[in-house]
Structure 1
Amino acid sequence: MAEAKIIDGKAFAAGLRSRVAQGVADLKKSHGITPGLAVVLVGEDPASQVYVRSKEKALVELGMNSFDHHHPMDMSEEDLLVLIAKLNADPAVHGILVQLPLPRHMDTTKVLAAIAPEKDADGFHVVNAGLLATGQKGAIVPCTPLGSLLLIRDTLGTDLKGKRALVLGRSNIVGKPMAQLLLQQDCTVTVAHSRTADLPGECRRADILVAAVGRPEMVRGDWIKPGACVIDVGINRVPGAEPGKTRLAGDVAFDEAKLVAGSITPVPGGVGPMTIACLMLNTLTAACRAAGAPVPAEALA
């Protein structure tokens, strides 16, 4: 059997960014509106700072407005909630993103719930989760699951009816919304997790396997159904070949899996680039809805 097709998330994300940039230009021309995203960072977590910079850079590249709010670690929860209320009321701000994790003295659930659902660029608000779960229109979909589904549809085609899909992981950020998106595509969906009995057997039945469990190379090659589409959401730092060096690894043992799967995302270069591209897409979608303009086709929900 030939090796799996490597799904190039970086290339697909570049194309999506280009389409979003065109959508931004069209919205400016038709309605005089420039989509704007407010990015709120509290504290000085190095990884969060890197993520925020990449998001802010992408906004500018695509012609959007970036409203940057960087605050020290000792910012009070009350002051953060006041800031969010101001951003909710600002018509120039179409999306709000609060970078996680927040400092320990803040209640993450309370902070995320304060964001207006229509401006919830990450798609984490309980209202957006509810709209997605009930199959109603108007949900803003979390970026990583949305990006994963776009890669699946690009690889397998838009008709996924009847395919068996297994989502490994049940987080509110990836696992649960991923399952809902696949259900909406008429897949037969199983959600598996650390307490699933016969996890390898469950995986072997899946035509589509989405791994989002946060355990490096947990899914072995012999867990995979021959010809399956494997989407590896995991980003784990593990020891590298040289002493003291590290490398990135997914939740799937890539070298084993590519010998069995029909298609597979690499780590890095697979789902990762799609996450920021879909954040840009969500911001454009929110701006289009605010203006009463048609939303991008890729928004899906």
Structure 2
Amino acid sequence: MADIHVAPHLIDGKQTAEDIKVEIAAAVVKLTATGQRPPHLAAILVGHDGGSETYVRNKVLACERVGYDSTLLRFEDDITEADLLAQVGALNDDPAIDGFIVQLPLPKHIDAEKVIEAIRPDKDVDGFHPMNLGRMVAGLPALLPATPSGIVELMARQGIKTSGQHCVVIGRSNIVGTPVSILLAKNLETANCTVTLCHSRTKNLAEIVRQADIIVAAIGRPEFVTADMVKPGAVVIDVGTTRVTDANKKSGFSLKGDVNFAEVAPLASRITPVPGGVGPMTIAMLLLNTLRAATGAVYPKA
């Protein structure tokens, strides 16, 4: 049995994301030195969800950090689906916008899938469009989903061995669970895992998770993964970010991951904290997708 790690080595997503931003900023300097304009990222924010507000604000600050132009379009949560789709169409047609995102979740009266499908694939820097997902599955160049590709990039830059490892992904959403399971199974230096994808209907879930060399927890249930589900020495990637009421915090809440950190950290060889783990990588990969969209690296410019 592997040694139990009393002081686990934290996976610093914040620093890794900062390294990527430095690389992107250098690329922008080279781009603008040739007379080209800087990449331009736009975001649509509907309503006043606290988590979405924070996330979009961080994206705007990240754009400033790397030298991008940015545009934030705000709408009240009573906007009609037709009007929102019209806004998406306008961004699709705007040659000054290289990529854009529609921040999720959307109000219940709006069909999020319809909105995602309305985004032009070459401007879909979140990587959610079915064409980008399909190209990813087929191994073709695509704008990859930001969080899944961020997880893969984070492990690669942290020197975590993935080839031949058994990775258990908990959660099958189209945003994280399913795409990250596909990426980690790819025949790539940064992947080559044997992947088990678990979800709400999985029998003997704890037993399966205990077999994992790498656990990716993306189920959206705070502190779902407990010590009895983790074998000593496993690498634990926590994708969860749920706001939980906390009277001891000035904000009135704290962020909880899908992993019970206090229980699991002593067992893990490497583990991502929440916050400061996967979250910063998502924004970094969004910026990278925007650079790729601006330069025609995936979908060549006409």
TM-score, normalised by the number of residues in structure 2: 0.89
What secondary structure is seen at the aligned counterpart in 2 of 1:160? coil
Specify whether residues 161 and 266 from structure 1 end up closer, same or farther in structure 2 by C-alpha distance, changes over 3 A only.
Answer: same
What secondary structure is seen at the aligned counterpart in 2 of 1:16? helix
2:243 counterpart letter in structure 1 = R
Alignment partner for residue 180 of structure 2, among 178, 181, 188? 178
Note the 1:150-165 alignment, pairs <5 A.
Answer: 150-157=153-160, 160-165=162-167
1:143 counterpart letter in structure 2 = A
Correspondence for 1:260: 267
Note the 1:18-37 alignment, pairs <5 A.
Answer: 18-30=22-34, 32-37=36-41
2:14 counterpart letter in structure 1 = K
2:75 counterpart letter in structure 1 = H
Correspondence for 1:106: 110
Measured in 2, the distance between the counterparts of 1:53 and 1:25 equals: 23
Specify whether residues 243 and 25 from structure 1 end up closer, same or farther in structure 2 by C-alpha distance, changes over 3 A only.
Answer: closer
Give the CA RMSD over aligned residues: 2.2
Measured in 1, the distance between the counterparts of 2:201 and 2:131 equals: 28
Alignment partner for residue 215 of structure 2, among 202, 209, 219? 209
Conserved 8 A contact 1:208-1:228: yes
Measured in 2, the distance between the counterparts of 1:291 and 1:275 equals: 19
**CA deviation map 1:36-73 (0-9, x unaligned):** 11111223333322222221121122111112222233
Specify whether residues 80 and 261 from structure 1 end up closer, same or farther in structure 2 by C-alpha distance, changes over 3 A only.
Answer: same
Conserved 8 A contact 1:224-1:257: yes
Correspondence for 1:91: 95
Measured in 1, the distance between the counterparts of 2:86 and 2:245 equals: 43
Query: Structure 1 residue 17: deviation in Å?
Result: 1.2
Query: Structure 1 residue 291: deviation in Å?
Result: 9.5
Query: Structure 1 residue 276: deviation in Å?
Result: 1.3
Measured in 1, the distance between the counterparts of 2:153 and 2:131 equals: 23
Query: Structure 1 residue 242: deviation in Å?
Result: 4.8
Query: Structure 1 residue 240: deviation in Å?
Result: 4.1
Specify whether residues 217 and 258 from structure 1 end up closer, same or farther in structure 2 by C-alpha distance, changes over 3 A only.
Answer: same
What secondary structure is seen at the aligned counterpart in 2 of 1:275? helix
**CA deviation map 1:191-239 (0-9, x unaligned):** 0112211111111111111000111111112311221111000112335
Measured in 2, the distance between the counterparts of 1:129 and 1:288 equals: 20
Measured in 2, the distance between the counterparts of 1:262 and 1:14 equals: 23
Note the 1:1-301 alignment, pairs <5 A.
Answer: 1-2=4-5, 3-30=7-34, 32-137=36-141, 139-157=142-160, 160-184=162-186, 185-240=191-246, 242=248, 246-289=253-296
Measured in 1, the distance between the counterparts of 2:240 and 2:197 equals: 16
What secondary structure is seen at the aligned counterpart in 2 of 1:156? coil
Query: Structure 1 residue 243: deviation in Å?
Result: 10
What secondary structure is seen at the aligned counterpart in 1 of 2:296? helix
Conserved 8 A contact 2:293-2:299: no
Query: Structure 1 residue 189: deviation in Å?
Result: 0.6
Measured in 2, the distance between the counterparts of 1:87 and 1:238 equals: 35
Conserved 8 A contact 1:232-1:267: yes
What secondary structure is seen at the aligned counterpart in 1 of 2:70? strand
> Between the two proteins, what is the percent identity of the paired residues?
47
Conserved 8 A contact 1:216-1:252: yes
Measured in 2, the distance between the counterparts of 1:218 and 1:78 equals: 38
Q: Which runs of 5+ in 2 are unaligned?
A: none
Specify whether residues 236 and 76 from structure 1 end up closer, same or farther in structure 2 by C-alpha distance, changes over 3 A only.
Answer: closer
